[in-house]
Every structure is written in structure tokens, then in C-alpha cells.
Amino acid sequence: MDVSQLHVGGYTSMIFVRLSDGVLFLFWLKSTVAQKEYSFYGENPIPVAIGEIVESQLNTTWGHVAQFHVHGENIKIDLRPQLNE
């Protein structure tokens, strides 16, 4: 479930529920993409599938400003040139 509201002051947050046991996971982009403030919450390690979904969604939603690569709970955020100036 993506609960963000783009371009109205909200940043990306995604809630995941593992159906087998009801465990919750949360990804939260806490500020602008350029500020690179984010967190994953939930049992560790975060499942690989969640990282893949987060990476895909961020690249789809915010791909016009950055390229995202998720590795575990770390995200490499490469800003597009216009944001680095």
C-alpha cells in the first residue's frame, strides 16, 4: 500500500503486510529525494522482495529526479544532474 501524495507536501511511504504471519514492514521517504532521508521499519532483515518493490516504485515515481538502487536497508540515490547544481 502506497500512502503518499506526490507534489502536495507528502513524501513516499509504503506499508507491507506479510500475509503468512501478519508482520508489518514500512518504508518511509521522510523528506525530499535530494535530502536522502529515509527509513525501513519492521523485522530484520527486510525481505528482498520488499527492497525490490521499493526500488521499482521509487524509480517509477521519482525517476524524473533520481535513480534508486536498494541493497538491504540501504538505498543509493543518484540525483539527476539538474538536482546536483
From first to last of its 85 residues, what are the pLDDT tens digits of the chain?
556 555 555 578 899 999 999 999 999 998 888 899 999 999 999 999 999 999 999 999 899 999 999 999 999 999 988 755 5
Q: Which residue has the cell 521519482?
A: 62
Give the residue among 40, 77, 41, 80 at the shortest CA–CA distance from 58: 77
Q: How many helices (H) and strands (E) does the chain have?
A: 2, 5
For residue 22, the number of C-alpha atoms closer than 13 Å in the C-beta half-sphere is 0
